[in-house]
Amino acid sequence: MSVPPANHLLFADLDVEALPDHPIGKDTWYAVGGRADMLLRPRTTEALSRIVRRCHESDVPVRILGSGANLLVADEGVGGIVVSLDHPHFKEVSYNLDGAPELIRAMAGADMQKTMHETVRRGLGGLEQMAGIPASIGGALTMNAGGAFGEIADSLHAVACLDRRGEIVIYPRESLEMGYRTTNLPDAPILWGTFKLMDRDPLLLRERVKEIFQYKRKSQPMADKSAGCAFRNPIDPQTGERISAGMLIDRANLKGRCVGEAEVSQCHGNFLVMKTGAGKASDLVRLIDVVKQAVHADSGIELETEVVIWDRD
pLDDT in tens, 165-197: 999 999 999 999 999 999 999 999 999 999 999
pLDDT of residue 313: 79
Q: Which of 43, 173, 181, 206 is catalytic?
A: 181
Model confidence at 2, in pLDDT bands (50, 70, 90)? Answer: very low
Q: Which of the pair, 153 or 100, is modelled with greater confidence?
A: 153
**Which has more pLDDT, 277 or 151?**
151
Question: Are the CB atoms for 48 and 67 separated by under 8 Å?
Answer: no
* Predicted pLDDT at 271: 94
Residue 222, CB-side half-sphere exposure with 13 Å CA sphere:
13
pLDDT of the residue at 8: 64
Cα–Cα distance list, 123 to 61, 140, 158 (Å): 41, 22, 21
C-alpha span between 265 and 272 (Å, rounded): 6
Residue 306 is among the residues annotated as catalytic for this protein = yes
- Domains for the chain: give ranges and CATH numbers: 8-87 (3.30.43.10), 92-217 (3.30.465.10), 245-310 (3.90.78.10)
Q: What is each CA distance from 221 to 25, 63, 94, 181, 227, in whole angstroms? A: 21, 28, 33, 21, 11
**Looking at the whole model, is its pTM more than 0.85?**
yes
Q: Would the pLDDT of 4 be above 70? A: no
Q: Which of 55, 200, 229, 261 is catalytic?
A: 229
Reported as a pLDDT band with limits 50, 70 and 90, residue 1 is very low
Using the predicted structure, report yes or no on whether residue 280 has a pLDDT greater than 50.
yes
Residue 19 has pLDDT above 80, yes or no: yes
pLDDT of residue 217: 87
For the question of residue 181 being annotated catalytic, the response is yes
Q: How many CB atoms lie within 10 A of CB 207?
A: 13
